[in-house]
Structure 1
Amino acid sequence: MPNIKRLDPGASPLHYFGAELRRLREAAGLTLDQLGGIVFVTGSMIGQVETAAKTPREEHVPRLDAALGADGSLIRLWQLVKRHRLPDWYRHIAEHEATATEIRVFQAQLVHGLLQTDEYAEAVLGVMEREGLEMKVEARLDRQRILDRAEPPLFWAILDEGVLRREIGGRRVMRNQLAHLLSFRHTNEVQIQILPFSAGAHAGLMGSFILFSFEEQADVAYMEGYEEGWATANPKEVRARSLRYDLLRADALSLGKSAELIARVMEEHYGEEP
């Protein structure tokens, strides 16, 4: 008999997803290759998903659910798997993003994750380690779905001018990233300001930070480190961060002038290669 890897559904949500997928497939009397043929992937891929060696793509999950008559159970379980793909310390921040009514960010080094293109995200997340990079990028892009909701949070971003000029991933990637920022110019839910170099010393010199506001709970201030983040709901700390943010917003260019600077940097620094 072939050596069938035993599954431990309790190891993680991904392992539980794989175990459920195998259970449903075997109950349907399908081989790996047969199920793969139905959902347009290889049987080997199905096997890797069942043993938690690989995470399925977003678009594969509804196909698997329909092919196995799971009545939406795999789709619902997939939401838990996606949350688990984030680092342990970052899941709380993803929860804040998902439940906040307003998100205010100051970014001194990079475009914020909720505004990143897939290629920019790949370049950022792949700096130290490329193992599991595809899964990490998918998890980051999945967070951006909150901006597409019927009632999205108000997202206000202040980016240091250096963010526009720091070439991440190459000229083409940066051009597409800045074009993506400009695509929000006429939306009410996403506002982007640029803090110009001419502002000199400013209230954000100590680094990037985020402020989350909610309907029925205290505001939260968050700062991200190299390996983990720091968050607090202490009113004094949150008030201090809010003051810093207001000062940064006052020093930043207007929304219109910010868009003009983004467009100018995009053309002057990342224009098409001759």
Structure 2
Amino acid sequence: MRVTVEAEDASQDPAATPLTFFGAEVQVERERRGIKREELAEAASCGYSLVAKIEAGKRTPSLEFARACDRLFPGSDGRFERLWPLALKYAFPGWFQRYVSLEWKASAVRMFHPQLCPGLVQTERYARAVLRTGRPSNLESLVTGRIERQRILERESDPARLWLVLNQAALTNQVGDREVMHEQLAHLLVLAETPRHRVQIVPDKGHHHGWASPFGILSFPDDQDVVHVDGFPRGYLLAETEDVTRATDAYDLLMALALPPDESAELITDIQKERYS
């Protein structure tokens, strides 16, 4: 049985999880300084109800929210930003938390998906549409967690490099409405045009290339690669040398089957215009 973030009751035990602890600390600091929720909501560019849910340990804070707390509460010295990575973990199922911790440290990420744009490159609306299909009770926390993961591609110090290979089906399988897809493909094009990233599309030629499972490879500056294989009901990590070698070989073959980056960008643009304009 999976226990969702919303199942936690911060009023019973504020230290039950890093998420409830984060919320309780925000509430204590806010009330101690006589600051209203409306003031914190304005400083964090969010709604009153979101502040209330974060304080109750029922919603995952964004990094911007943590930074707003540090700005608004004198003397915090970055405490809420330091607590934020721990709170963020609880936006994910327990089995996925180890992967997120590794992904956060990765210097390079190689990903393949046969049917969808993977979470690391999803827009917020695309992510919400994908996650909604599972009817989770903590949808908004899951969306927040998925979008916040993408900070590894934008961090100021040594942003991770991304190499993404997608089947053409990932561009034509409509998630949400046409506007959602138009926005998602536009985001792929931005990534494709970023010098440190690569986006390649395996064109649909009417036959299957042999790989049906989404998988990714994380690389680190001073450690061995790790493979993550997506699946139901949960994904799993592989670190054995033989498994990593096989995954790397498979990825190399997928890259060889895919269109070159420039031609891939042209295909993305064509599909965006023809199907989602």
So what's the TM-score if we normalise by structure 1? 0.87
What residue in structure 1 maps to residue 3 of structure 2?
none
CA distance 1:258–1:98, shift in 2 (3 Å): same
What residue in structure 1 maps to residue 203 of structure 2?
196
Number of residue equivalences: 262
Q: Distance between the aligned counterparts of 1:14 and 1:112, measured in 2?
A: 25
What residue in structure 1 maps to residue 94 of structure 2?
88
CA distance 1:263–1:47, shift in 2 (3 Å): closer
CA distance 1:216–1:270, shift in 2 (3 Å): same
Partner amino acid, structure 1, of 2:24: A
What residue in structure 1 maps to residue 17 of structure 2?
12
What residue in structure 2 maps to residue 252 of structure 1?
258
What residue in structure 2 maps to residue 36 of structure 1?
37
What residue in structure 2 maps to residue 167 of structure 1?
174
So what's the TM-score if we normalise by structure 2? 0.86
What residue in structure 1 maps to residue 5 of structure 2?
none
Q: Distance between the aligned counterparts of 1:55 and 1:95, measured in 2?
A: 16
More displaced, 194-203 or 212-221? 194-203
Say whether the 8 Å CA contact 1:164–1:265 is kept in structure 2.
yes
Q: Which residue of 61, 67, 84 maps to 2:66?
A: 61
Q: Distance between the aligned counterparts of 1:269 and 1:46, measured in 2?
A: 39
Say whether the 8 Å CA contact 2:61–2:87 is kept in structure 1.
no
Query: Where does 1:1-274 land on structure 2 (aligned, <5 Å)?
Result: 6-28=11-33, 30=34, 34-40=35-41, 46-69=51-74, 70-150=76-156, 151-198=158-205, 200-204=207-211, 206-271=212-277
Gaps (5+ residues) in structure 1?
none
Say whether the 8 Å CA contact 1:182–1:259 is kept in structure 2.
yes
Say whether the 8 Å CA contact 2:62–2:148 is kept in structure 1.
no
RMSD of equivalent CA atoms: 2.1
Structure 1 residues 196-229: Cα deviation after superposition (integer angstroms, max 9, x where no partner): 111733242x321111122222211110112211
Structure 1 residues 32-64: Cα deviation after superposition (integer angstroms, max 9, x where no partner): xx4223324677655543332344454333333
Say whether the 8 Å CA contact 1:199–1:251 is kept in structure 2.
no
Partner amino acid, structure 2, of 1:119: R
Structure 1 residues 142-184: Cα deviation after superposition (integer angstroms, max 9, x where no partner): 1111111232222111100100110100111111111111112
Identity %: 35
Gaps (5+ residues) in structure 2?
1-9
More displaced, 156-165 or 60-69? 60-69
